[in-house]
């Protein structure tokens, strides 16, 4: 039964990527013939979202893609917590603000960019490649989301505030020893930003 579940999930993922749904941003372009490459090249960081969280069923698909990312020795050295309840999110923000009294509470709240669904990712510091694993997990999550029309933004500042707010960390319920390293805001985009330039000169072949 378990094998059948993963087979079905695999087919669902392939279908999602092949469809490459980006209706909220209208970024799809015939420039790319390959749907996976198009998904990667058209994804943008979203900082304005429509109201309402991403459906749980959609998030489950996105998170399944995330935990199937490559990771060192299959240690799966991450833990993931998802918050899509506004009341719970407000409480976490309140606890973070209390733990950072020298920071304007508005800045603490603003660091989440108004995303209606927040993903908190913690790593295992005892494993030196855990940050890499968490980065790969995060990229899978964001690309899977984009293929389903869900925008995302990768955030670092909430982690700084969380690490000064033990009560907020306790609310998230990470296992002992795990440390927040990345936050991802997700939701349906309410903007369609242009791509920022990249420097291809930073990539060189070694002859």
- For the chain, percent of residues with pLDDT exceeding 90: 84
Mean pLDDT of the chain: 89
Q: How far is Cα 138 from Cα 20, in angstroms, rounded to an integer?
A: 18
Domains of the chain: 2-194 (3.40.109.10)
- Give the model's pLDDT for residue 30: 58
25-34, 62-71, 94-103, 168-177: least confident range: 25-34
Q: pLDDT for 136-185, tens place per residue? A: 999 999 999 999 999 999 999 999 999 999 999 999 999 999 999 999 99
Those residues with Cβ within 8 angstroms of residue 65's Cβ, 6 or more apart along the chain or in another chain = 13, 140, 141, 143, 144
- Give the model's pLDDT for residue 156: 95
H, E, C per residue of 92-106: HHHHHHHHCCCCCHH
pLDDT at 124 over 90: yes
Those residues with Cβ within 8 angstroms of residue 190's Cβ, 6 or more apart along the chain or in another chain = 24, 46, 48, 49, 50
Cβ contact 138:71 at 8 Å: no
pLDDT at 26 over 70: no
């Amino acid at each position: 039964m378990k094998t059948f579940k993963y087979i079905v999930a695999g087919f669902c993922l392939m279908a999602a990527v092949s469809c490459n749904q980006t209706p909220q941003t209208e970024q799809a372009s015939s420039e790319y013939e390959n749907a996976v490459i198009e998904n990667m090249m058209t994804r943008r960081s979203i900082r304005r979202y429509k109201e309402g969280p991403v459906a749980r069923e959609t998030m489950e698909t996105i998170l399944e893609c995330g935990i199937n990312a490559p990771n060192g020795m299959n240690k799966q050295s991450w833990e993931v917590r998802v918050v899509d309840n506004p009341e719970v999110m407000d409480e976490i923000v309140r606890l973070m603000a209390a733990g950072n009294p020298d920071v304007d509470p508005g800045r603490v709240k603003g660091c989440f960019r108004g995303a209606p669904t927040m993903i908190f990712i913690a790593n295992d510091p005892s494993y030196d490649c855990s940050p890499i694993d968490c980065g790969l997990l995060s990229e899978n999550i964001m690309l899977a989301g984009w293929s389903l029309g869900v925008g995302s933004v990768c955030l670092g500042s909430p982690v700084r505030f969380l690490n000064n707010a033990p009560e907020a960390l306790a609310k998230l319920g990470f296992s002992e020893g795990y440390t927040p390293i990345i936050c991802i805001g997700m939701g349906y985009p309410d903007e369609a930003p242009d791509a920022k330039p990249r420097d291809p000169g930073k990539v060189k072949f070694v002859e």
